Chain A
Amino acid sequence: MSRYNRHIILSEIGQKGQDKLSNAKVLVIGAGGLGCPLLQYLAAAGIGTLGIMDFDVVSESNLQRQILFGSSSLGLNKAIAAKERLEDLNNTIQINAYTRKLTHKNSLELFKNYDIIVDGTDNFASRYLINDASIITKKPLVYAGIYKFEGQVSVFNYQGGPSYRCLFPTPPEEGAIPNCSEIGVLGVLPGIVGTMQANEVLKLILGIGDVLSGKVLYYNALTSQTTTLKINRSEKEIQKVVATEYFFETLDKELICDFSIPEISIQEALKTQNIQFIDVREPWAQPKVEALDSLNIPLSEFYSNLDKISNNTPKMIFCQEGVMSKKAVSILQEHSINNSFSIKEGAFEIIEYLENKNGK
């Protein structure tokens, strides 16, 4: 088959290596900035079975970096849209699209069907879940995370090497570290970092080169510098995860965790009298909600600015996606500052609502 000729003529790969790729089963979670480039290269390389998991749909602001999609994909589920594009790229491989959200309940069964797991997600809850499920199912995990102009890549759970929890033992507070949709990202950055992930996947399967296990590679697109830091395996962190094996599937808590945080729609919030809107995004976050008279107190400076917040006035708190605002309400509750609500909508939706309301 001439499709893989440039692989096969490499003495390090050959027909034998190409057969390994054909027999490999790789699951990519998240078909976003990282997922798009890495899925392209894995499909083109002839990975025999490629799983794509994403519950999100393609939106216009994705197109700046999520290069599997175009205008015709807008509104489509990302796993389905990616599968369609990749089947055109390589129709000789099996591509499975999963449109549901990854949970503790569904992860173990799913991971068992694959040899290698790849994390291309954009939030810590998913990253820790993927890491833990990879430990329990004993699958190597190719990880990457990005921030504005910087990225980090590593391979976890490989031949007795460390896991993500050996690097960062506990998840940061939700909303403490912004993701791309909140803070922006240079479009080519996930292209570079996602391609590095694809490279690690291929090395794992082919058994060539040095896998990025036991170390994390850090890359800065602005300085073009890379730094590799060594990670030691923490038996304690890994054993904590292994100990959850028999009740892992019951650990989903997203349905119960936020009951104590009062939420309100922007429509209802505007009906309330004498209210204070508080924007908890960082000062540089876009878009500004200029139509609302709001106080800007970034979540990162919330503790030191509690004195600026009146206890009696009803407080309507918003952010980019309605996640950091919940965190802000929980901080206020801890400090017995009552009468605060998290606005369900994010900044984009709030602006859209206000524009429609004012008949623009």
Chain B
Amino acid sequence: MILNIKYFGLLAEVTQCNEEQFEFSGSNVSELREALYQKYEMLIQKDFQIAQDQVLISNETKITETEIALLPPFAGG
């Protein structure tokens, strides 16, 4: 399926874009992470959580929706 992925914070610096269409053939969040690491090697070192359809989800959750967002923690204050 074609996912629409949004990248927040320093993740957008790794991917060089705020948003993109991403072809994904796996089924759950762990597999999505692997697919993203394949495309962007530097993402492995970054901490982030994945949201599907505006809900943050765990690694076992199945990907059923196309709206995905990657949220890293922000240190600054």
Contacts and interface: CB of A to CB of B under 8 A. Distances in A.
A150 B8 contact: yes
Contacts of B47: 168, 170, 172, 176-177
Interface in A111-159: 119-124, 127, 144-148, 150-152
B49 A167 contact: yes
B17 interface: no
Contact of B77 (A121, A183, A303): A121
A177 B74 contact: yes
Interface residues of A, number: 45
A32 interface: yes
A228 B10 contact: no
Nearest to A172: B47
Given A231-B56, A300-B45, A147 B75 contact: yes
Given A168-B49, A177-B47, A147 B10 contact: yes
A122 B77 contact: yes
Contact of A227 (B10, B69, B72, B73): B69
Interface string B35-77: 0000000100111010100111000000000000101111111
**How many B residues touch the partner, as a band?**
20 to 34
A96 interface: no
A288 interface: no
B76 A228 contact: no
* Chain B interface main SS type: loop
Contacts of A10: none
Contact of A180 (B6, B8, B10, B76): B76
A199 interface: no
Contacts of B56: 167, 216, 229-232
Contacts of B54: 227-230
Contacts of A180: 76-77
A191 interface: no
A303 B45 CA distance: 10
B77 A146 contact: yes
Contact of A179 (B9, B49, B76): B76
Contacts of A151: 74
Contact of A30 (B10, B18, B72, B77): B77
A34 interface: yes
Interface of B: 6, 8-10, 18, 42, 45-47, 49, 51, 54-56, 69, 71-77
21 contacts: A127-B75, A145-B74, A147-B72, A148-B9, A152-B74, A167-B73, A170-B47, A172-B75, A177-B73, A177-B74, A178-B75, A179-B77, A180-B76, A185-B76, A227-B54, A227-B69, A228-B54, A229-B54, A229-B71, A230-B56, A232-B56
Given A167-B49, A229-B55, 10 more contacts: A30-B77, A120-B77, A124-B73, A150-B8, A152-B74, A172-B47, A177-B75, A190-B76, A227-B6, A229-B51
The 8 closest A-B pairs by CB, nearest first: A145-B74, A122-B77, A147-B74, A180-B76, A146-B76, A230-B55, A172-B47, A179-B75
